[in-house]
């Protein structure tokens, strides 16, 4: 999965109301990918920047997705 398709796959695993954003699938991929690139290009301006990456504690690490089942690709 790449770009906007990966975001939609991730959104499917989130609770409502975030899951409702999977309806963005109906937007043509070139438009979704253009929006994805725009956010990626401006991510530090939008979200800030950290000096170091966070090492998640075990209770947070359990929430990370290790792999996506084939039926969700």
Interval 21-57: pLDDT, tens? 999 999 999 999 999 999 999 999 998 998 898 888 9
| Cα(65)–Cα(59) distance, integer angstroms | 13
pLDDT, residue 62, reads: 82
Higher pLDDT, 64 or 20: 20
Tell me if 67 sits within 8 A of 13, measured CB to CB. Answer: no
Nearest by Cα to 32 from 61, 2, 54 = 2
pLDDT, residue 73, reads: 60
Q: Which residues, 6+ apart, have CB-to-CB distance to 36 below 8 Å? A: 3, 4, 7
Nearest by Cα to 1 from 29, 20, 39 = 29
Residue 3 has pLDDT above 80, yes or no: yes
pLDDT, residue 72, reads: 64
């Amino acid at each position: 999965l790449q770009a906007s398709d990966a975001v939609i796959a991730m959104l499917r695993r989130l609770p409502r109301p975030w899951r409702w954003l999977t309806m963005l699938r109906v937007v043509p991929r070139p438009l979704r990918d253009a929006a994805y690139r725009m956010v990626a290009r401006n991510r530090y301006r939008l979200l800030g920047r950290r000096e170091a990456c966070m090492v998640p504690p075990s209770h947070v690490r359990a929430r990370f997705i290790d792999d996506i089942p084939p039926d969700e690709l």
